[in-house]
Amino acid sequence: MMSTQDPKILKFVADYKINLIEPAAMGEDDLEKLHSNLRSVLGFIKYSNSDKELSAFLSRESGLKALDVEAARVIKACTNTNIQINEKERSVDVCKAVQEMNDKARMEGREEGRLEGREQGRLEGREQGRLEGREQGRLEGREQARLETMLHSVKNLMESLHLSVEEAMSALKIKEDDQAILLKKI
């Protein structure tokens, strides 16, 4: 609204009545009253925020199969939809254009998902490898400590009771495979 009442300024201002169309507030019966490209354009704009409703509208609105290029430009501008418009053609199949756009987005999403999945797999694999490496290290450490303890016990028996290596191992009831390992360390 203009707040000035100056007659010098007001004589340059036209006071036209403006009818505003709000597609989102229109009912289905309001759209049905229209019989031109305007119905297709307003319906597309109305349902553009809901994939499900837009899909239903595209399937029942025959006017979108061969929409004038100008009307397709209006849809593209108002909904920020990346509809490919061939300027050499007289009409655009908006249904096909939206399907191609969705297919492209789906393919890009799949590829992005694959890349994220691969990266996640690598990270999980590395973490699993670290965990397995730690566990393997713990097991090897325990085994080494067990052998060192047996070696220390064998040496103590040999020294304190003046036993041979074989007699000390026999007295401690050390298994043959462990005896072979300990003999290399003595």
Full DSSP string of the chain? ------HHHHTTS---------GGG--HHHHHT--SHHHHHHHHHHHTT-HHHHHHHHHH-GGGGGEEHHHHHHHHHHHT------TTSSEE-HHHHHHHHHHHHHHHHHHHHHHHHHHHHHHHHHHHHHHHHHHHHHHHHHHHHHHHHHHHHHHHHHHHH---HHHHHHHTT--HHHHHHHHHH-
Residue appearing with tokens 């300024």: 9
Which residues in the chain come in under a pLDDT of 70? 1-2
Percent of residues, the chain, with pLDDT higher than 90: 18
pTM of the model: 0.52
Contact at 8 Å (CB) between 154 and 174?
yes
Beta bridge partners of 68: 91
Q: For residue range 130-161, what is the model confidence (pLDDT) as tens digits?
A: 888 888 988 888 989 899 999 999 999 899 99
pLDDT at 165: 93
